[in-house]
Amino acid sequence: MILNPIPWPNGAKCACAITFDMDADSLIHVSRPNDGHQRLYPISMGRYGPTVAVPRILETYRRLGLKQSFFIPGWCLENYPDAVEAILKGGHEIGHHGWIHEDPIVTAGGQREPFEKALRAHEKICGRRPKGYRAPVYNVTPEVVDLLIEHGFDYDSSLMADDIPYRMKTDAGVLYEMPVHWGTDDWPPFAHYDEIGYMMPVRSPSAGLAGFWEEFEAQYEAGGFFMLIVHPFLTGRLARWRLVEQWLENILNSHDVWFAPLEEICDHVKSVEQAGTAKIRTENLPYYDIPQK
């Protein structure tokens, strides 16, 4: 059970979001800066995302009438303009996902420059500032939270302190969290990427996705929030996306769910909080000021 459930629009039982992180081949360039550009296999694996998977995913969304969220590094916005244009044309949200997928903890103390470079790419290519952020590899630092508040972001979607959206409060202000979890992320079941240190046994499509659907059933029963954190080059592949598409058709036909982009879900959370119809839990940040020993 969830002790402080959020009432969803039109009495829906569960808020749902399928969020794609369109990393493309940024991963190999940031992890192998000297020779990544010569590694054609990982480049090709990443390029499959914007070139083959994204059009397929967008077609499903168009057919089913869904608007969803994509998180895209600034470098990918610049290098894959056709995919970006198609995503925007479909009415979907594009959130901030770093410049070239740099890990914020590795660049600790120096996040402002890549963060703001990515913001400028959003303004130039998407024509708007993003409202949401997801940290590459989920590594949000207090420095990043401060940058998000300074730049007027509504939400982060990288942290794990609750099942449903919550507030984060710092001395600088407030930010909402649309919480993620490894149980609804496609990296563990589907990623196999030796060059960046992931040697995982790839699960079959049905086995890899089965855990996600169990997560959905629990959230649905509790009136919660179900979000997938997936990648076009992994879950957008033919056999996997076929199963996701079938699942979507079934859920839309048989369940009372509210699919929306995260920015809309965040707006709703804010409105019910202001109306006093939901109690949104607050986490005070930073958790620690000094190393704990």
Q: Which residues bind Zn ion (CB under 5 A)?
A: 21, 23
Cα separation, 191 vs 263, whole angstroms: 27
At 114, the amino acid letter reads P
| Min separation Cβ 23 and Zn ion, Å | 4
- Closer by beta carbon to Zn ion, 23 or else 163: 23
CB of 200 to Zn ion, least distance (A): 16
Asked if 155 contacts 177 with a C-beta cutoff of 8 angstroms, the reply is yes
Q: Shortest Cβ contact with Zn ion: which residue?
A: 21
- Closest to Zn ion by CB, 49 or 224: 49
Which residue, 84 or 269, has its beta carbon nearer to Zn ion? 84
Strand 155-156 with 166-170, pairing: unpaired
Q: How far is the CB of 8 from Zn ion (least distance, A)?
A: 27
Minimum distance from CB of 160 to Zn ion (Å)?
16
Apex CA 70: angle with CA 173 and CA 201, to 5°?
110
Nearest to 98 by CA among 117, 122, 73, 119: 73
Residue whose CB is less far from Zn ion, 21 or 154: 21
Q: Structure tokens of 234?
A: 């992994």
Instruction: Using DSSP, state whether 187 is helix, strand or coil.
Output: helix
